[in-house]
């Protein structure tokens, strides 16, 4: 998938509205994947236990060390409608997990999830 954030900045973005394509990922998804959302959430809910402090002018977020055995992991999940659709896991030897960090192989063993997921194949 090509991120909406990159498409918005591209010179060709003016053609997206009338291009006749169907996009699986809605445009509003760019808001949820944007780090600028972090300071806005912190401003609305300061001190919330599920948030780290964050602010402007450059987006910063409080550091939280979640390493296990000196490895930082990141898990991303996608839901389509009300169903689980995909999962990606990355690991990094340093505190920052990047889009270039290695992917981690995994297996989902619950039979029901596998059975439901097969219909998408």
pTM over 0.75: no
Per-residue confidence in pLDDT tens, the chain, 121 aa: 567 777 778 888 888 878 887 777 777 777 777 788 899 999 999 999 999 999 988 888 898 888 888 999 888 887 788 888 888 889 999 888 888 899 887 776 665 555 555 454 4
Nearest to 30 by CA among 11, 12, 6, 4: 4
Nearest to 32 by CA among 87, 74, 78: 78
Q: Give the pLDDT confidence score for residue 53 in this predicted structure.
A: 95
CA pair distance 22, 20, nearest whole angstrom:
7
């Amino acid at each position: 998938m090509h991120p909406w954030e990159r498409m918005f900045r591209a010179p060709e973005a003016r053609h997206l509205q009338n291009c006749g394509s169907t996009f699986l990922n809605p445009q509003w998804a760019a808001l949820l994947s944007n780090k600028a959302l972090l300071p806005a959430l912190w401003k609305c809910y300061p001190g919330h236990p599920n948030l780290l402090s964050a602010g402007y002018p450059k987006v910063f977020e409080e550091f939280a060390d979640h390493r296990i055995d000196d490895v930082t992991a990141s898990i991303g999940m996608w839901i389509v409608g009300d169903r689980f659709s995909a999962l990606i896991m990355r690991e990094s030897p340093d505190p920052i997990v990047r889009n270039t960090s290695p992917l981690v192989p995994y297996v989902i063993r619950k039979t029901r999830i596998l059975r439901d997921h097969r219909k998408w194949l």
